A and B are shown apart, each in its own frame.
Chain A
Amino acid sequence: MVQRFFRRFIHLFHRERFDRELQEEMRLHRDLRAAKLRERGEPDPQAASQRRFGNTLRLQEESRETWGWRFLDEIAQDLRYAGRQCRKNPLFTLIAVATLALGIGANTAIFSLVEQILLKPAGIDHPERLVEIRERADRLNIKSMTLSPPNFADARDSRQVFEHTAAERAAGLNYSAAQAPQWISGSAVSVEWFDVFGAKPLIGRTFLAEEDRPGANRVVVLSHSAWVKLFGADPAVLGRTMELSDEPYKIVGVMGLAFDWPRQTDLWVPLALPAAAFSPNNRFNENLTVVARRKAEVSFPQAAAWLKVLSDHVWNSGYAPAARMAKNTGWGMFGIPFIDFTAGDNRRPLLVLLGAVGMLLLIACSNIAGLMLAKTSARALEMGIRAALGAGRGRLWRQILSECTILAAAGGAAAVGVAFGGLNLMLRTAPEKAVTGIEAHLDPYVLLFTAAAAIVALVLFGAAPAWQASNAGAEAALKDAGRASTPGRARLRLRSALVAAEAGLALILLVAAGSFLRSFARLQAVNPGFDPRGVTTAMFSLPVKQYSSAEKQALFFRAALERLAKTTGITAAAIAVGVPFTPYGDAGAFMIQDRPQSPSEPVRQSERRYVTPGYFKALSIPLLRGRAFAETDEAQSELVALIDENLARQYWPNENPLGQRIRPTFGQDFYTVIGIVGHVIGSDLAADSGKGSIYFNLLQMKIATPVAWIVAKGAPASLAPAIRAAVHDADPTQPLRNLKSLDRSVSDSLAPRAFAMWLLGLFAVLALLMSALGLYGVIGYSVAQRTREIGIRIAMGASRRSVLISILAQGLRLTGLGVAAGFAGSLLVQRALRSQLFEAPAFDPFAFVVMAAALLAASLAASYAPAIRALRIDPLSALRYQ
């Protein structure tokens, strides 16, 4: 069977040769027969031979058919004819193909993106079983934070619920093998980290349980990218030693390309927590990212319930300080499906985009439907004639289907291009953080699905006239088409409904886009409490050994800052940890001297920022009261702190905070409050927590975090080289990282919103265009149908103005219907979107009115061209028309 098909298939490409050879064979046959007949004395051997042979043409035809070619021939003929039809109506073809391409392509691109972010992140085996475990403290208004080691241990030891549980913490490391020191983004992970994700190493092994202990942890697993970047993908790296922050680490394994958790990690080292970290006192020292893999038979709600059980156990534990703290702060552990957690901020904008692109597909489908209706009803006469001439029902169907096939094929091919281009464009323009690890590959199933939807619309409405022609009989079709009467009108009504629906959908998209735009503008106008303009930041890490004391650190800071201060063009510079809109903040509890905390009062909490004196000038943060840090504050002088206005208001509402002494829980020292500065928004313009801050002077204390930021304000061009030079001069072994303008960091924080807004706006404009095209088609068709009527009206003395108005009014009426329907839809959609918008009213009349006006204007423009055509109608020829 297969072989037979294969032989036929091969023959397809040798058709001409086949014909030639068959003719030759038959000719030889007839010649030989004639020769034989001649021998017998036949008077006209040629003719007799031909007689005996039979009808050569028919026999050839029959031979050809044996190879199953007639069917193919007819299809080829249909396709050629359909191709001619498409070429004859270039505008129609262009609109249909473009509509298909945009509808299918945009959907495929968005769905492919969503699938990778929300459904199947790469490098995870059964991602749905992964749970991110977090803590919250309801009474401190902390909704989600990392885990402390004792809590991690509780989850890890719950083997009946979690197959594997692992903790992770960032480990900034310097790699000094190369000439210039390089910053390595490392992750310290507990031993089961790779098991949680179900990831196996490409070569070598991952960690052993005994390596996850202090002192035994000088081993490293490389990421694929680091293996390539640092070692040229040399398989012989296993067993070699690399220097990380002046410590030798033995390379034991390399992970595959797909495994990238946490994102953009260069290498993994064992977490190796000391036993003391798991002591009950440490229960509220949160610094671990914890991910667990549920056992297959444990559901997510069951896992969540178990975390609640663990939390309750702490509340009721025998260790009184922990129980009290848990109760006071409203503390608890909870789980989030890992995929939801990593998708994070992108999840909701992506869902909004999904909805928008779905609407776009609906509009595209109704546009296609409308186009096909118009086109095929215009051809009802042709169909009728062909039916009358004896074209079979099947043949008419095939004719229509082959036209649809050509449009679908062209549209589908263009859609793949649009989808691929669109996805690449999105990946390039999307905020980097949102799309790391995402590949530009399209999901073939999505492509098939959306293409199927559009093609169903195409065929459904394209085939209607064929169905009508073949059912109603040729006669009816001829009569009807000849007069263009009632059935045409029914179809026009359907088309009008489609156009109104398109306008409604377009309005919903437009209003949504408008709301996003306005919300974004409001957001950009938010005052963050500091001025990021002209400020550049860069991150560096301090090797613990080299800068073991506050004095040594201060020496390095002063050297770098002095060098910067000398550079022309730089107006202010500082070293800081906790710069707004940059990573690595710190927060924690503090005590106030002479004001003991009652057990029922929530723990006093603040953000902690560590800065050198120039910080407030560099960021233009105003000093509201008291004095700022001075160069003369140093490790030996009085320890001082600044607080921001929010902290002052929260804890000293009716007294003067200046001169008060506070003790942060990281040490035993008290700090005197010497001044109050303005509040700054830390990371999210849309949702500032309002939490107060304490500033510590970096010249007085040893830095607690492994990294610090250098901040400089001045002429943009000179900043980056100046910062590089200054750090290099102070310590040539210090690599810099994340050199970035603060302006950029702030706008990057809005990037997911900007991205969603940009795409939504694009979709809305496309929707507007498509609905205008749809309207243009309907009005144009109705004008063509009414040529005679319009001619008569003009002949009877109707003014051209009244004709023009009647046609424009028809367009406006349809769009108006759509606007009314879209109004209702917009109300619903706006309510659903409200959580995505910044300070948005329940209903934004401004966005609605502006967008409705835009839609009506577009509809006027779309009906104007056919209206002008109507005005040019010559009454005499119109009367003769048809």
Chain B
Amino acid sequence: MPNEAIPPGTLDLLILQTLARAHPLHGFQIAEAIEHRSEDVLRVEEGSLYPALQRLLVNGWIAGDWGKTEGNRRARYYRLKPAGRKQLERELFHYRRVSEAIGKILQPA
């Protein structure tokens, strides 16, 4: 794993969330959107976005369709599928529960 500081699956979650806000987006656009919000995740290796995209594709959470960029080049535009939206909700719910629990533990008595 290129980014050991970041919990595994975080990148996947970020991609799903990015696509949930606005889609379709091609790879570079996703990378830019993530970078805006979280400098760290893609700091070491921007290209690690691509294996992550494959994971989401294999699971059927996102789909990719070829289209044209503003500069008139071919690009694959990704969009969230209903299964991906559900997965995102599941992950967010899970994430919130965990962070709440951690928050409670860390709260001074």
Give the interface of A toward B (CB within 8 A): 3-4, 7-8, 21-22, 24-26, 28-29, 31-33, 52-56, 59-60, 62-63, 65-67
Contact = CB atoms under 8 A, between A and B. Distances in A.
9 contacts: A3-B60, A4-B60, A25-B75, A28-B73, A29-B49, A31-B73, A60-B50, A62-B50, A67-B58
A14 B51 CA distance: 17
Nearest to A59: B47
Contact of B31 (A4, A29, A67): A29
Contacts of B28: 28-29, 32-33
B48 A28 contact: no
B57 to A, nearest CB: 8
A744 B45 CA distance: 89
Contacts, number: 70
Contacts of A66: 51, 54-55, 58
B69 interface: yes
Contacts of A26: 27, 47, 50
A603 to B, nearest CB: 87
A66 B46 CA distance: 18
B46 A4 contact: no
Contacts of A32: 28, 69
B2 interface: yes
A28 B76 CA distance: 10
B38 interface: no
A54 B45 contact: yes
Contacts of B59: 4
Interface in B9-60: 26-28, 31, 44-51, 53-55, 57-60
Interface in B54-76: 54-55, 57-60, 69, 73-76
Contacts of A56: 47
B58 A62 contact: no
B53 to A, nearest CB: 8
Interface of B: 2, 26-28, 31, 44-51, 53-55, 57-60, 69, 73-76
Given A4-B59, A21-B76, A53 B26 contact: no
Nearest to A27: B73
Contacts of A59: 45, 47-48, 50-51
B60 A29 contact: no
A32 B26 CA distance: 11
A63 B31 contact: no
Contacts of B51: 59, 62-63, 65-66
A29 B71 CA distance: 13
Contacts of B57: 7
B47 A4 contact: no
Contact of A25 (B46, B50, B55): B50
A32 B70 CA distance: 11
Contacts of A52: 45-46
A7 B58 contact: yes
Given A24-B74, A66-B51, A8 B46 contact: no
A8 B44 CA distance: 29
Nearest to B43: A52
A431 to B, nearest CB: 61
Given A4-B59, A7-B58, A67-B58, A28 B47 contact: no
Nearest to A18: B54
A25 B27 contact: yes
Contacts of A53: 45-47
Main secondary structure of the interface of B (DSSP, over half): helix
B75 A33 contact: no
Contacts of B27: 25-26, 28-29
Q: Which 9 residue pairs of A and B lie closest in terms of their CB atoms, listed nearest first?
A: A54-B45, A66-B54, A54-B47, A62-B51, A59-B47, A53-B47, A32-B28, A63-B54, A29-B28
A33 B50 contact: no
Contacts of A55: 45, 47
A60 B47 CA distance: 9
B71 to A, nearest CB: 8
A5 to B, nearest CB: 10
Contacts of B48: 54, 59
A49 to B, nearest CB: 9
Nearest to B49: A29
A28 B69 CA distance: 10
Q: Counting chain B CB atoms within 10 Å of each CB, which of A26, A31, A32 scores highest?
A: A32
A60 B51 CA distance: 7
Indicate the member of A3, A21, A53, A56 with the most B CB atoms within 10 Å. Answer: A53
Nearest to A68: B58
A66 B57 CA distance: 9
Contacts of B58: 4, 7-8, 66-67
A59 B46 CA distance: 10
Contacts of B55: 66
A386 B36 CA distance: 51
Contacts of A54: 2, 44-48
A25 B47 contact: no
A28 B26 contact: yes
B64 to A, nearest CB: 9
A56 B50 CA distance: 10
Nearest to A32: B28
Contacts of A4: 58-60
A63 B53 CA distance: 8
Contact of B54 (A24, A28, A29, A67): A67
Contacts of A3: 60
Contacts of A60: 50
Contacts of B26: 25, 28
A54 B59 CA distance: 25
Nearest to A60: B50
Contacts of A22: 50
A643 B75 CA distance: 105
Nearest to A31: B73
Contacts of A62: 50-51
A60 to B, nearest CB: 8
Contacts of A63: 50-51, 53-54
A68 to B, nearest CB: 8
Most A CB within 10 A of own CB, among B28, B55, B60: B28
B62 to A, nearest CB: 12
Nearest to B2: A54
A25 B60 contact: no
A7 to B, nearest CB: 6
A403 to B, nearest CB: 32
Most buried by A among B46, B69, B75, B76: B46
A4 B55 CA distance: 11
A26 B27 CA distance: 8
B43 to A, nearest CB: 9
A869 to B, nearest CB: 57
A72 to B, nearest CB: 14
Contacts of A29: 27-28, 31, 46-47, 49
